[in-house]
Amino acid sequence: MAAWFLRRQGLDRFPVTLRRRRLYILPTRAGLGFSLVLLGMLVAALNYGNSMALLLTCLLGGFVLVAMHQCHRNLNELKLTAVIANPAFAGERGTLTLRLGNDSALARFRIEIDTSGIAAAVTDLPPQCTRHVDLRVPTARRGLVRLDRLRLSTTHPFGLFRAWSWVHAPLTLIVYPRPRGARPVPPQPGGQEGRTREPAAQRDEWLGLRPFREGDSPRQVAWKAYARGAPLLAKEYSASGSEQHIFDFDRIAGLETEDRLEQLARWIVDAEARGERYGLVLRGLRLLPQHGPDHRRRALTALALHGMDAP
């Protein structure tokens, strides 16, 4: 059935508008049960010649038809304008950020977005509105999580029918290795292993606080501000005058491949939080020492794709 849907619709490109031809609708279990009740009422009304019972049955039948039409209209002409796959660490939940648009003068209620094996995200869209919806994707191990299609559906109103449509836009979510490991940071080039390092707050220039990001070291959390009721924030320092490290995969002895990658991820996350410059050496890849969110993303992505057939 999934292959038939794909052949019928083809691959989608954003923005996608859910038009009538790609919408499907069937009764839910509640709808089938309600239909059986109506059938029993109709047989009883005709058998006993009860006009009031027959009138009630016809009114409820009209109610079912209106509910079917409203369920279909709730999804018709809905727009999915973009999907952003945000990286995550293994064991955490990745996030797909979907941007939905409603150009209609009528509100859309209880729009569900899901795919196989993932719990649905539910949202309402007011008239003439654009809204962002986050779909949580479970991750078990590093690498790539590929999603071939998304389903947008609704059971509004009354839950008697379900209308749905498939969006075939292959998405890829990058999953970084877990940042864990107990080994100390390797010494700087030049044999400065025995040098006592000053805390980042004394060595670097204070920049301020920023929102806490997944993978930040607990040592960088502004716990005093958090205790006063502020959201979870992390301290940030400039990289001027900071230390420089080269993290080399082959120099981590005594660990399996996955444990090495997790240890490298731990060093990268900690070095970034401290404002230090760091480079990365993997088999077939070398990143020069830098600092910043883009460099952190490149380094962690290289760890996530290490040993895989991926660009």
Q: Which residue has the higher pLDDT, 235 or 157?
A: 157
The lowest-confidence range among 16-20, 36-40, 223-227, 246-250 is 223-227
> Does position 199 have pLDDT exceeding 70, yes or no?
no
> Does position 38 have pLDDT exceeding 50, yes or no?
yes
| pLDDT value at residue 196 | 39
d(CA 263, CA 270): 11
d(CA 28, CA 21): 21
The lowest-confidence range among 83-97, 106-120, 227-241 is 227-241
| pLDDT value at residue 214 | 65
Mean pLDDT value of segment 170-187: 85
Enter the pTM of the model.
0.71
Closest of 30, 29, 34 to residue 60, by C-alpha: 34
Count of beta carbons in the 10 Å neighbourhood of residue 201:
11
Count of beta carbons in the 10 Å neighbourhood of residue 3:
7
Chain position carrying tokens 């999907």: 83
- pLDDT band for position 202 (50/70/90)? very low
CB 161 within 8 A of CB 26: yes
Angle at 189 between CA 184 and CA 194, to 5 degrees: 55
H or E element that contains 119: strand 118-125
CB 99 within 8 A of CB 132: yes
Query: Tens digit of pLDDT for each residue in 235-286?
Result: 766 555 456 888 888 888 888 888 888 989 998 988 888 888 888 888 888 8
The amino acid present at 98, given as its one-letter code, is: L
Query: Tens digit of pLDDT for each residue in 278-307?
Result: 888 888 888 888 888 888 999 999 989 988
Radius of gyration of the chain (CA): 28
d(CA 302, CA 140): 18
Query: Tens digit of pLDDT for each residue in 15-35?
Result: 889 988 889 999 999 999 999
Backbone angles phi, psi at 117, to 5 degrees: 80, 5
| pLDDT value at residue 207 | 57
Closest of 262, 120, 44 to residue 111, by C-alpha: 120
CB 65 within 8 A of CB 25: no
